Amino acid sequence: MSKIDVVTYNGSWRIKSHIETIRDLSFREGNDSLAYEKYDPDNIDGQTWLVYVDNELAAISVAEASHYTGDPDIALRICRLHIAKKFRPAWLGMLAGEHQIKWAKEKGYKIVYITHDIHNRAINAMYQHKRYGAPITELQKEMNYLWHTDWYQSLKTDFNRLFRVDENSDFLQYVYYWTLEDGYVWLPKTNMIDIEHDGNIARKMSNKEILHGHA
């Protein structure tokens, strides 16, 4: 059985050095979400989580107050995920989710959300509770319990919106969220396109067609 630890950044030089290690690795593995101009662990409105497997750094995930949607006091966005290729596929990003939701509740947020490229069918199927993929590696088998947890089962798909990080970009993402206050209805103010969809819109329309229809 693997020893798995999820740790938050506490300002220590040791954890900071680990963040820089996985940042460098993410660049080499083709992920720029931790680029220096995008992410500074000492200067974010949020928190950073690191995942270790048998004491080896395996993944990073960040939660940031959602200035993108114009309601940073209400919504928290999970982002800047990188899982070291050595540990894929193992769903380690989802492992941090439970800790992030607990932290968000303690901080008084009402919404925690994730966005993902509408063209990534495998990951979207996972977020939409449609398909998880058969566990192959031993680590995957150990992580298989995640799909049956209450916090994962309560993850919802927003079938009325798509996320657009930049008005000058045609990159569109599905929105997945947890509601932390019973009965709360989230009405994000910015960076959203109002459009009804079934979670499979990318197979029916191109990004440009979607944007043209909502210009």
Tens digit of each residue's pLDDT (9 = 90 or more) over 122-135: 899 999 999 777 77
Average pLDDT on 172-191 reads 97
- Choose between 52 and 140: higher pLDDT: 52
Distance CA 77, CA 37 (A): 18
* Burial letters 148-170, b for 16+ CB under 10 A, else e: eeebbeebebbeebbbbeeeeee
Domains of the chain as residue ranges with CATH: 62-212 (3.40.630)
Question: pLDDT tens digit string along 72-121?
Answer: 999 999 999 999 999 987 788 888 999 999 999 999 999 999 999 999 99
Q: How confident is the model at residue 138 (pLDDT cuts 50, 70, 90)?
A: confident
Pairing outcome for strands 161-164 and 156-157: unpaired
Tokens 């941090």 map to which residue? Answer: 96
The pTM (predicted TM-score) of the whole model is 0.94
